[in-house]
């Protein structure tokens, strides 16, 4: 199809200034469509969020723009099982469907409330691409309730997009996906990873502070699926004093994790750090520690960012997660059996004691990111998707 004739409606849960993994992907798609000169609109729920300049409120329906793209933010009245419920959504969706007449719709799944209304337009002529970020697993009742709806959605879809093969090959619905599966990997923001001279000097200062220690670095929320408790337990298995684990971020488990590591001087909590400090630590570290344990970790952009800096990664095997597609065992790092702290400790020891192996895996890690997970590659992949008949 001629790109000039395409009109894309993207359906996301929320949008910036709310920050989340799905929202970042929606932003990347919007950027790609803009670069390709494609007409587009975005519809989402509004949410309480602010970046200091722009402030949104969940109960307000607002028409605005994000990076030059028209965004319809539908106010919602309550949430049930993390799903926003809005009395305005059906009306706003109908309006954009009637007036914009999209030729293509990209729906970010899971989003069951919105799927209910979107399926009412199944008879209209548009290509439907469902970006399958993850299965509903935690909410057992919702999973059963929306099973039939999911099947109708998959049957109506022209493509089921997955960030990695694992998203579409290891889903409960894989047998129904059939030949609709299409891989559209997420992208890192290279521009936000460029080091300033100040940050390079900051990285050198970090290395000097810890002298000859091998630095393992983690950054992310301190929540159960991130697996930090297993990283700390793995550290306790390492008796050598040549490693330090630098843990950035905060979350509901922070105090519990600090208590767990209180007698281990190898574990150092950095707290919340700035983007500038994040780049400096990514430059200074030797190993990317990414101990996530469930498919709630769908891809691992923080993992890819660490690999971009040329560092090997240590991860766990996670069925249905893209983590093990980003980090390739024995190529870009080491993959350990899920929750096996002894194997994780063994992997850290192996990398810490072998600079040549760190260099080999690290070089391959950077190459893998540059070849597969950049904005430039993402734009190329979006173009290819839209040009397919």
| Full DSSP string of 132-171 | E-----S-HHHHHHTHHHHHHHHHH-SEEEESSHHHHHSS
**Residue linked to tokens 């070089």:** 363
Q: Which domain holds residue 261?
A: 190-372
Q: Are residues 155 and 117 in the same domain?
A: yes
pLDDT at 139: 62
Q: Is 279 helix (H, G, I), strand (E, B) or coil?
A: helix
**pLDDT-derived band at 135, boundaries 50, 70, 90:** confident
| Peptide bond connecting 110 to the previous residue in cis, omega within 30 degrees of 0 | yes
pLDDT at 52: 87
**pLDDT-derived band at 1, boundaries 50, 70, 90:** low
pLDDT at 65: 94
- pLDDT reading at 2 higher than 90: no
Helix (H) or strand (E) holding 105: strand 104-109
Mean pLDDT confidence for 80-87? 85
pLDDT at 140: 65
Q: Are residues 168 and 230 in the same domain?
A: no
Q: Are residues 176 and 208 in the same domain?
A: no
Q: Report pLDDT digits (tens) over 268-324.
A: 999 999 999 999 999 999 999 999 999 889 899 999 999 999 999 999 999 889 999
Structure token pair of residue 343: 């194997």
C-beta separation of 382 from 131 below 8 A: no
C-beta separation of 170 from 320 below 8 A: yes
Q: What is the pTM of this model?
A: 0.89
Rg (CA), the chain: 22
Helix (H) or strand (E) holding 202: helix 197-209
Cβ atoms < 10 Å from Cβ of 144: 10
Q: Are residues 41 and 135 in the same domain?
A: yes
pLDDT at 80: 82
pLDDT at 32: 97
Report how far residue 173's alpha carbon sits from residue 178's, in angstroms, rounded to the nearest whole number: 9
Q: How far is CA 237 from CA 244, 266, 343, 346, in A?
A: 13, 11, 10, 9
Q: Are residues 228 and 325 in the same domain?
A: yes
- pLDDT reading at 389 higher than 80: no
Q: Are residues 41 and 103 in the same domain?
A: yes
**pLDDT-derived band at 341, boundaries 50, 70, 90:** very high
pLDDT at 81: 76
Q: Is 335 helix (H, G, I), strand (E, B) or coil?
A: strand
Total domain count for the chain? Answer: 2
pLDDT at 20: 84
pLDDT at 146: 81
Q: What does pLDDT average to over the chain?
A: 95
Q: Are residues 20 and 164 in the same domain?
A: yes
Taking alpha carbons only, the member of 323, 320, 338, 22 closest to residue 172 is 320
Mean pLDDT confidence for 355-368? 98
- pLDDT reading at 149 higher than 90: yes
Mean pLDDT confidence for 113-138? 92
Q: Are residues 167 and 248 in the same domain?
A: no
Q: Are residues 109 and 219 in the same domain?
A: no
pLDDT at 363: 98
Q: Are residues 249 and 170 in the same domain?
A: no
Report how far residue 171's alpha carbon sits from residue 238's, in angstroms, rounded to the nearest whole number: 36
Q: Report pLDDT digits (tens) over 155-211.
A: 999 999 999 999 999 999 999 999 999 999 999 999 999 999 999 999 999 999 999
- pLDDT reading at 137 higher than 70: no
- pLDDT reading at 21 higher than 90: no
Q: Residue 62 is part of a domain; what is its CATH number?
A: 3.40.50.2000
């Amino acid at each position: 199809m001629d790109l000039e004739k395409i009109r894309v409606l993207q359906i996301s849960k929320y949008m910036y200034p709310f920050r989340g993994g799905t929202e970042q992907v929606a932003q990347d798609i919007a950027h790609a469509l803009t670069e390709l000169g494609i007409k587009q609109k975005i519809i989402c729920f509004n949410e309480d969020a602010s970046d200091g300049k722009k402030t949104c409120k969940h109960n307000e329906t607002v028409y605005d723009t994000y990076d030059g793209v028209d965004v319809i933010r539908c106010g919602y009245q309550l949430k049930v099982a993390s799903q926003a419920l809005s009395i305005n959504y059906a009306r706003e969706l109908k309006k954009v469907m009637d007036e914009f007449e999209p030729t293509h719709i990209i729906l970010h799944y899971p989003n069951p409330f919105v799927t209910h209304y979107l399926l009412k337009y199944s008879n209209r002529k548009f290509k439907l691409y469902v970006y399958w970020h993850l299965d509903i697993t935690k909410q057992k009742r919702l999973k059963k309730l929306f099973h039939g709806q999911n099947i109708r959605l998959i049957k109506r879809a022209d493509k089921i997009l997955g960030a990695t093969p694992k998203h579409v090959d290891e889903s409960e619905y894989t047998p129904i996906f059939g030949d609709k599966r299409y891989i559209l990997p997420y992208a890192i923001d290279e521009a936000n990873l460029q080091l300033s001279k100040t940050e390079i000097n900051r990285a050198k200062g970090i290395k000097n502070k810890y002298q000859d220690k091998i630095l393992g670095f983690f950054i992310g929320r301190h929540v159960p699926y991130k697996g930090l408790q297993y990283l700390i337990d793995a550290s306790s298995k390492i008796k050598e004093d040549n490693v330090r684990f630098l843990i950035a971020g905060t979350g509901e488990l922070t105090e519990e994790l600090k208590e767990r590591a209180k007698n281990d001087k190898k574990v150092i909590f950095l707290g919340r750090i700035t983007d500038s400090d994040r780049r400096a630590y990514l430059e200074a570290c030797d190993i990317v520690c990414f101990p996530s344990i469930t498919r709630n970790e769908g891809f691992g952009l923080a993992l890819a960012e660490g690999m971009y800096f040329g560092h090997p990664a240590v991860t766990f095997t996670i069925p249905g997660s893209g983590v093990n597609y980003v980090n390739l065992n024995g190529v870009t790092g080491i993959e350990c059996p899920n929750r096996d702290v002894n194997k994780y400790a063994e992997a850290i020891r192996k990398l810490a004691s072998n600079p040549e192996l760190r260099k080999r895996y690290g070089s391959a890690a950077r190459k893998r990111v540059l070849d597969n997970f950049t904005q430039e590659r993402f734009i190329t992949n979006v173009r290819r998707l839209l040009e397919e008949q």
